[in-house]
Amino acid sequence: MSKGSDFEKLGSKLRKGFYIFFKILFSLKTAAYYVLWLKFLQIILSPIDVVFALIEKSRISKLDKEIPIIFVVGIQRTGSTLISQFIEKTFPFFPIGNFNTIFKRSTYFVHKLLVRFYKPNGSYKNFYGISKGLFSIGDSYEVWDKWFGKNHYVLPTEIKGKNSNLADYFYSLYEAYNMPILTKNNRNSLLIPIFKKIFKRGFYIIVKRDPVAVIKSTITASKDFFGTDTILWGLYPDMQFDTNNYENLTEAATVQFLMLDEILNEQIKDLDQDSYLIVDYDQFCQDPFQFQQNLINKLKTKPEYKLNNIQTSNQSFKISKRLNKLHIDEQIKSYIDKWKNKI
């Protein structure tokens, strides 16, 4: 079993890297292989990235430090990747993702030079938050780690550098792209108060999903990432959250979900009504057009989001049947009943 602090240990990092590499290798999925391709590009293009970053050190942004930026957030396995992909393909926003992962240090010149080639990728294929396509949206942890650290499983105890460094990074990108910025990262679900303080014009799309589906999917992902059902994958409510305190991984995953959902709900209470939209994943899959209209209605009073050239879409999405193979619904529901009033 596991606790949040375990993921900072070398053994846990090596185990995860080993199992996820072989998971990708034998997946026979192009989206999974794209992860390896991105890592390759990141390595070979690193010298160019460093050179541009050094040149940009003396550059001063001319912006007024207020930019339109959208944060798609949600507990792991809620479907935030699919929803962020849909927004990327239908709204005139620039996605933070694969391109930023490759050029994680530079913030302006390489982006200004290559933004003319940006075109939303038509594919919805992804592998655990990483989508196909050079410019496609993704978790882009290589970017966020500069401020929030490399433990992707817990709320960081401190922010590296100054808040202004985080702000300057995205201000510079916005100046290069000249489009509202779209971001997606599950760890950011725990960091909304920080973003609210830094980005006054920020907007939050909060993805929710049926608890049983989220918990089952988290358990499945745990086996994918660690090759065992004794280590719990996903965000931990805090560094000391310990799965050993529960009967089994299913109960631990249930408490994990309930605690994270409570944290997210408390953060939502501090947001202005016009600064966020809550979307249910199942409803989105059935009727993405309605979600699109709801988002337009929220953003149309904010001229900085430039809602021209929106691509309307009437398509729907199939909900994965993979989780049907895991027959633990009743057990999860019993654990939800046990813990829902104790969190």
pLDDT tens digits for range 181-219: 999 999 999 999 999 999 999 999 999 999 999 999 999
Confidence (pLDDT) at 227: 76
Residue with tokens 């309605």: 290
Asked whether residue 275 is domain-assigned, the answer is: yes
Q: Establish if 262 belongs to a structural domain.
A: yes
Number of domains comprising the chain: 1
Provide the CATH number for the domain around residue 176: 3.40.50
Please determine, for residue 70, whether its predicted confidence score (pLDDT) is greater than 90: yes
Please tell me the predicted confidence (pLDDT) of residue 65: 67
Lowest-pLDDT range, 4-8, 14-18, 162-166, 301-305?
4-8
Percent of the chain with pLDDT over 70: 91
CA-to-CA distance for 290 and 282, rounded, in angstroms? 12
Q: Are 142 and 103 in contact (CB under 8 A)?
A: no
pLDDT of 5 reads: 60
Domain residues for 43?
4-55+66-339
Q: Is 60 part of a structural domain of the chain?
A: no
Give residue for tokens 């930019």.
67
- pLDDT tens figures, 230-241: 889 999 988 888
pLDDT at 268: 97
Is the separation of the CB atoms in 151 and 7 below 8 Å? yes
| C-alpha span between 262 and 26 (Å, rounded) | 37
Give pLDDT tens digits for 167-187. Answer: 889 999 999 999 999 999 999
Confidence of residue 74 (pLDDT cuts 50, 70, 90): very high
pLDDT beyond 90 at 276: yes
- Residue 10 belongs to some domain of the structure: yes
Domain membership of residue 249 (yes or no) is: yes
The structure tokens listed for 50 are: 């460093």
Answer whether residue 82 shows pLDDT above 90: yes
pLDDT, residue 25, reads 81
CA-closest candidate to residue 252, choices 189, 335, 154, 327:
335
Residue 277 domain flag = yes
Asked if pLDDT for residue 159 goes beyond 80, the answer is no
Is residue 280 classed as helix, strand or coil in its secondary structure? strand
Residue type, 218: T
**Domain-located, residue 61:** no
**Residue 270 in domain:** yes
- Mean pLDDT, the chain, rounded, equals 89
pLDDT in tens, 32-66: 889 899 999 999 999 999 999 999 887 766 656 68
pTM above 0.75, yes or no: yes
Tokens at 288, concatenated: 């993405």
Handedness of CA 171, 172, 178, 183 (dihedral sign): negative
> Of residues 323 and 302, which shows the higher confidence score?
302
pLDDT at 183 (0 to 100): 97
**Residue in 96, 182, 109, 196 with CA at minimum distance from that of residue 146:** 96
